[in-house]
Structure 1
């Protein structure tokens, strides 16, 4: 089971489930014990951390929490569909943020939390993710289309609170394979990254390359090309790539320069990368079939599940172009998963108490260590002593100013209706498939974005 980065993809699997609760008969799930709550998650890697927190919660409150994982994502969606029909939903669900949670809220699957979540509770999260699960002006505007998966929500409603955070564009490197190739330390710049790839590929042409699940093509665009463009060009010129000005968009000299830089990865892709899913790419890295991997902060827990010791990898934010406008870019965090309260829970006060308990810094830090994942709660200065060096290095990827941070949350400059996976498929044709030159790629992506601007 893995997190999916496309909100459209996430929601498609659960859209039908969201409407079923409207016709569900009976009440919510009832474990048969008024002091027992039921919680579902789609992440197996979170179960141990949740169960440890549940044990402490029971000792403190007398309320027992039973945690159940349903994986992969499609199985989780199917379980919700079935349970919505029978009125057998759990009290609390961990869902994908700003997608499933809002869809469930629009269709009555989960309760509105507007009057439940206090300012004290919200202030435990970093400011830039506090509005996750909240219908702000931008989300309300998006909801107005009848094709929106959360059509019908109202402004200022809240349907979830953040639970885990993270970002995309995290590079993982096998320490032993790098050492065998003479790479003594993880790269800090784009050029050092390319040099490292060259060294490991020279050492092992079969297994020394870069793994990425390009079968989901927008991984290449959103996890690599866009952060690289932000570093090379800076915020304003990066955003202009998606605009209507031919002198500044993907077919411009700026756009071509970015694509030429990205194309330098072509010799180093793991053979067959274009046919790998995200899971398969990560598994290949965990099995020593690639020296490098690009993923997200959440990838670390998956590598651990697949037998890799987190201490055996370097993990760091995407390295910037030393000669670029932003030579040392940071990555903006996203709320990745959220906690929702079932609209049919027979114990909503206790369920909310459990959700709030998970947001407490000391609880969140213990969960992070057990799950090898980053909690949404801000952990404070002592976090590294609890979560360990590798997770700490992931947290360091967020350290930047607004001017130096590539923020994947910001889509305001995209043309209306823009679907990044279509542009990403063009990028795959350039690299690794070598069907297009960088200049041809820029023209094709520009033609696509121009069509969106015209239609918008």
Structure 2
């Protein structure tokens, strides 16, 4: 579920810029055209272990919506490996679904195409109001200061998952709260013959998610305040080097993980081959691989020093899925009703339970299912110490360019080549040169 989504996010190319210029954005339908008032098409992202699992989860809910409204929803679950290209094709051709799921980090880039319905105050009022949603989730719905391009549907956050038995065998009594502690614990674990920390070194978006957090912890960002790429800021360079040094210098991440891109580190962790995992809402993924929830603990992602706190110690990007409406839908009223249904308290509880996610609708979070020890860590992270990835039109190209730079640095580390401040800066300079002109 996780790494497939992340890989797709990292695959965005400059075709998005072409989409921005090619899409006319059906303004004639924005006022409420309803040529097909009794049908909707919905592209759902593949959240479960398979497309079949998603259909099993979603179809009963869509049937419920049809009973309530008389509107039939034609469902297509689109794998993450295909979803972005399908969306890009739809934005350029104008032939897309009425409603679709998007990775929330795509929001600003897809917003730039003009193909998505803006969620202004009037549209938000139709689904119960903007203030129903977590502010951190809303921060990943488009460029700050503009009406959101989508509405939060499922929220997720990164956490540190650790194997209780491996920790106990190494004499470690609590999870690390800082990176220095993680390195020290990792060395104790390695001395016992087990790999310490898993990573997906060839997964571009996983790389981005982690180095973004490190940059925030260093007091930096990859963009200036006016939205220009600033990949070679010395604090950014230090942040990227610190992450790669978990393999290159400290040997906490195994060199073989430099080639991982599709859930291999999760599999290794589930099988007891690695002691720790930095992952996004991993419980369902681990359960699907046969790991008992009693076998692992969940803690906040480490920070530089101290403990995560409100706005000061970012330890996760704001992860999750948004739901969007195409501006040229022929059933605007139905599409809005569907978004209202999917973000209702009742449906938020059903769907986020099914996908081991956190409801971005605050009033749905009171359910006991979201108050387990592991989910409490995720809830607290989203509420106090998560930050949205840069909400700029070039965000997708940023994921590709910088994610590739980190992938290459991991490859250097795995091959025994030196990873230095200079080599990191050179990779980031190359990545910045690949960004489109403003």
Query: Residue 153 of structure 2: which of 152, 163, 167 is its match?
Result: 163
Q: Is the 8 A contact 2:318 2:386 kept in 1?
A: no
**1:390 to 2:407 alignment:** no
Tell me what 1:196 maps to: 185
- The correspondence of residues 44-83 of structure 1 with structure 2, limited to 5 A, is 44-45=47-48, 47=55, 49-51=57-59, 53-54=61-62, 56-58=64-66, 60-61=68-69, 63-74=71-82, 77-78=85-86, 81=89
Cα separation, 2, equivalents of 1:160 and 1:420: 25
TM-score (ref. length: structure 2):
0.72
Work out the CA distance in 2 between the residues paired with 1:325 and 1:223: 17
TM-score (norm 1): 0.69
- Between 1:45-54 and 1:11-20, the stretch displaced more is 11-20
2:286 to 292, 298, 303: 303
Cα distance in structure 1, aligned partners of 2:191 and 2:91: 53
Alpha-carbon contact 1:165-1:375 (below 8 Å) kept: yes
Mapped partners of 1:438, 1:259: distance in 2: 12
Name the CA shift for 1:13/1:364 in 2 (closer, same or farther; >3 Å). farther
Structure 1 residues 340 and 381 mapped into 2: Cα distance closer, same or farther (>3 Å)?
closer
Moved more, 326-335 or 301-310: 326-335
- Choose the corresponding residue for 2:334, options 343, 350, 362: 350
Question: How many equivalent residue pairs?
Answer: 412
Counterpart for residue 152 of structure 1: none
RMSD over aligned Cα atoms = 4.9
Find the aligned partners of 1:13 and 1:451 in 2 and give their Cα distance. Answer: 17
Q: Distance in 2 between matches of 1:101 and 1:230?
A: 20
* Deviation per residue, 1:334-384 (Å, 9 max, x gap): 263221224454433122112112223343233211111123322476245
The secondary structure found in structure 1 opposite 2:12 is: helix
The verdict on how the C-alpha distance between 1:229 and 1:134 changes in structure 2, with shifts beyond 3 A counting, is: closer
> Which residues of structure 2 form unaligned runs of 5+?
30-35, 49-53
Q: Is the 8 A contact 2:248 2:419 kept in 1?
A: no
For the residues of structure 1 that align with 2:94 and 2:430, how far apart are their CA atoms? 45
**Which residue of the partner structure matches residue 227 of structure 1?**
213
In structure 2, the residue matched to 1:216 is: 203
Q: Map residues 82-101 of structure 1 onto 2, 5 A cutoff.
A: 87=95, 89-97=96-104, 99=106
Distance change (3 Å), C-alpha of 1:394 and 1:276? same
| Matched ranges for 1:104-253 at <5 A | 106=113, 108=115, 110-114=116-120, 115-118=122-125, 120-130=128-138, 132-134=140-142, 136=144, 156=146, 158-167=148-157, 169-205=158-194, 208-216=195-203, 219-220=206-207, 222-225=208-211, 227-228=213-214, 230-231=216-217, 233-234=218-219, 249=235
The alpha carbon displacement at 1:42 in A equals 2.2
- Relative to 1, partners in 2 of residues 1:196 and 1:449: Cα closer, same or farther, differing over 3 Å? same
